[in-house]
Amino acid sequence: MFTYRYSFRPRTWERLLVGAGFESAEATVLDARDLGHIGTLITTARTPGSP
């Protein structure tokens, strides 16, 4: 369940980042400490030529 309009699933964020020109992207959700609370989305994206 998402609570606001601009929430996307991690896989969607990965596609958006690659579509924006990043060479690779990974998105995961860090679970919230409290049951029923929303977790934190963490993304990592690499530019072409980055290590």
Q: How far apart are CA 5 and CA 25, in angstroms?
A: 22
Domain boundaries defined on the chain: 10-46
Residuewise pLDDT in 10s, the chain (51 residues): 445 556 788 999 999 999 999 999 999 999 999 998 888 999 999 998 877
pTM of the predicted protein model = 0.76
Q: How far apart are CA 35 and CA 32, in angstroms?
A: 7
3-state secondary structure 3-50: CCCCCCCHHHHHHHHHHCCCCEEEEEEECCCCCCCCCEEEEEEECCCC
